[in-house]
Amino acid sequence: MGLIASLPEIDKQKDGVFVMHEKSEKLIPMHKHTKGQLSYVEGGLAYITTENQTYVVPARHYFWIPKGMAHELEVGSTGTVLRSLYYYATDDHTNEFYTKLGIYPASELLIQMINYTERWDGGHVNSKADNFEFLIALKKMLPTLNKVSLPIMLPKTNHDGMQRIIRYLEKNVGNRLVLAEVSKQFAMSERSLSRLFQSTLQMSFLQYIKTLRMITAIELILKTSKPISDIAYEVGYSAVGPFSDAFYDFTLSRPSDFRKN
């Protein structure tokens, strides 16, 4: 049973943990549950869309979605495994971590612990089970692992015209992308294109370009063995220094450390 089919099952045991590991490329439509969701992204990217924002989750990162938060989840690659634990919420008041959405780099310890839960895939684990203490310990350690959530947010839109522009930007992410030239490409004035970004994405043209470049860089760092300098040039930077600084602003890590960790 896949995640979409399992959505009605998640809340059936209020005090238990529902375990779901799935390899797929799919869109899980807007939904919510009375449990907190811990998910680890193994390979590729995942996107979490809330009422007004889309968050990008790189591979080897995990996210926490608090109980009751409506969200859409998109797994962006067939090679992506989404490993999810849906937790009882009876102790969520004990730490602020459990009350807000957050995206964090996963330590090797956390990865191994989450991978270990695959043996209970597709079912509930409750207090009567011998392995329940393991899941309790996993949840309790989360607030101690990371203090700052990864601030990678990339708006998405159903606007046809903007989707065409986005596809062009994705295809040319390594080229010189300035408002004047892109607006000319789509027979628009600079002012009109700038307004379109703000009205459909609530983000400026330059902010979108920077974010797109960082997300592309994350994919290349995680999926290839290309030198960091080559990746910098491939996503539109003429020198490693400015690329490294921009990457740090988004991930709180230098590119070489990000790959190493």
Residue 239 belongs to a domain with what CATH number?
A: 1.10.10.60
Query: Is residue 60 one of the residues assigned to a domain?
Result: yes
| 47 lies in the same domain as 106 | yes
| Number of domains within the chain | 2
Ordered alpha helix ranges (H), the chain: 3-6, 108-116, 132-145, 160-171, 179-185, 190-201, 205-223, 228-234, 240-251, 255-260
| 57 lies in the same domain as 134 | yes
Query: Is residue 150 one of the residues assigned to a domain?
Result: no
| 29 lies in the same domain as 136 | yes
Q: Which domain holds residue 70?
A: 3-145
| 28 lies in the same domain as 123 | yes
| 31 lies in the same domain as 85 | yes
Tens-level pLDDT at each residue, the chain (261 residues): 677 778 889 999 999 999 999 887 678 899 999 999 999 998 777 889 887 678 888 878 899 999 999 999 988 666 688 999 999 999 999 999 999 999 988 888 999 999 999 999 999 999 999 899 999 999 999 999 987 787 677 787 889 999 999 999 999 999 999 999 999 999 999 999 999 999 998 889 999 999 999 989 987 887 789 999 999 999 999 999 999 999 998 887 899 988 876
| 200 lies in the same domain as 117 | no
| 115 lies in the same domain as 168 | no
Structure tokens at 133: 């203490």
- Boundary of a domain, candidates 103, 120, 145: 145
Are the CB atoms for 56 and 36 separated by under 8 Å? no
- Boundary of a domain, candidates 95, 121, 145: 145
| 9 lies in the same domain as 70 | yes
State the number of CA atoms in the 13 A half-sphere of 49 facing the CB. Answer: 16
- Give the pTM: 0.75
CATH code for the domain of 77 = 2.60.120.280
E strand or H helix at 83, and its extent? strand 81-87
| 132 lies in the same domain as 181 | no
